[in-house]
Structure 1
């Protein structure tokens, strides 16, 4: 039986924010941004909510009908980034003002984000911990990647672990060759996916 997917809206914000908080609570990057677990449990949901609000306002949020998996997408145009976009500073200000890492992670990922071609950006994908390993994430993002192939649009993401980067490789993503090294912390793997070449008719 296939996984049913729908687009999330403002009314789903609370449930999606809760899922993001739960799914990324022990993620290597989240653990680096908020090394003290008790403090992380207090502010992490607010931090993840900023990503969600950005996707709800400017992009697309897809979720499984059962609410166990969600993917946040943004359409990034070609050309230099908006100089007035200070999302990293807002992430710190809203979630954890005294924590420079809450801003640094956004600045480091932004510094290597490609802007020479328009692309779909998989900002975050989360699967409820008790449902991980069942293929929900793949089923959730496959329709977007299929559309990218039909329309000739590339896609981009940052893998937060070597394990997840291997999963994305199976979906056609390739490591860009430049890791994001978080100071005294884990690495992130920027990955780019060229659209599959449509078979020629005839």
Structure 2
């Protein structure tokens, strides 16, 4: 990578690029693999999930970010604005999305997802906060500062507005990255074969 990554909001015609980056970045992510179908279907269902995630499945007003390096997609992120909640479905939305979740998780996986979602929801800060739902770096660009570049670019406007940031992660190395950018561990919990850190970042003075 010869130049620093260029991080910016994704354009309307780049949603599938964001989905592709996240699909590749999250191949070994424990939280998703806990409830998504595994085996031969693993890649296809992960792709189907992120194709839906960049639409309105997470939230209709989700914010998509894209990092490019040397002209190629290098990383991506999905943020929610303060007051917005991931997967907060109305009864109608829940009905409409059920076929998708059955196809990518199965009935047992849906049960795991619901239990995991309840645990995650209980760890959110009480005050309004922006939620970093997903941040992923393309395998070919990992270890080159792309994740840090995305965090710097996306946290700066939150600091300017005095907004708290929140995220969850399942890898100790990722928790260490977030700590370097001002996040603090505010909760931890376990599921079978899975450990979660929940992390909160107070806005920094501009």
Where on the TM-score scale, by shorter chain, does this alignment land: which range?
A: 0.7 to 0.9
Q: CA deviation at 1:173?
A: 0.0
Higher fraction of strand: 2
| Structure 1 outlier segments of 4+, above 6 Å | none
> Taking structure 1 as the reference length, what is the TM-score of the superposition?
0.82
| Ranges in structure 1 where 5+ consecutive residues have no aligned partner | none
Provide the alpha-carbon RMSD of the alignment. 2.7
Structure 2, gaps ≥5 residues long: none
TM-score by length of 2: 0.81
Contact 1:92 1:102 in 2 (8 A): no
The change in CA–CA distance for 1:45 and 1:82 in structure 2 (over 3 A counts) is closer
Q: Are 2:119 and 1:108 equivalent residues in the alignment?
A: yes
| Conserved? CA contact 1:71–1:141, under 8 Å | no
Q: Report the equivalent of 1:17.
A: 19
How far did 1:62 drift?
0.8
More off after superposition, 37-46 vs 135-144: 37-46
**Which SS does the other structure have where 1:58 is aligned?**
coil
Maintained 8 Å contact 1:157/1:190? yes
- Correspondence for 2:80: 74
State how far apart, in whole Å, the 2-side matches of 1:83 and 1:109 are: 16
User: Cα distance, 1:2 vs. partner?
Assistant: 3.0
Matched, 1:92 2:92: no
Q: Match of 2:43, SS? A: helix
8 Å Cα contact 2:18/2:64 also seen in 1: no
